[in-house]
Amino acid sequence: MARTVYIVEQDCQGCGLCEDICPEVFRLNEQTEVAEVFKPAGGPEDLIQQAVDSCPAECIYWEEE
């Protein structure tokens, strides 16, 4: 089953950690200063999981499809 990630942007602190861990999937929007998922399937799942686990705001979630 495919899984995708999403970010609850209002909870994001804009720390950039997710982008540091997996820049293929996450990036910080320079205008809003919150992270966004621009390519949900762009990176390996273990790196995405690492971003989920490392996010200080705990605002990155998996969504089962």
Binding residues for ligand SF4, rule: CB under 6 A, are 7, 12-18, 35, 55-57, 59-60
C-alpha distance from residue 37 to each of 7, 25, 43 (Å)? 7, 6, 11
Smaller CB separation from ligand SF4, 16 or 40: 16
Q: Which two tokens stand for residue 32?
A: 């809003």
CB of 50 to ligand SF4, least distance (A): 10
CB-side neighbour CA atoms (13 Å) of 26: 32
> What's the min distance (Å) between Cβ of 61 and ligand SF4?
10
Under DSSP, is residue 31 helix (H, G, I), strand (E, B) or coil? coil
Q: Please, which residue, 13 or 44, has the CB nearer to ligand SF4?
A: 13
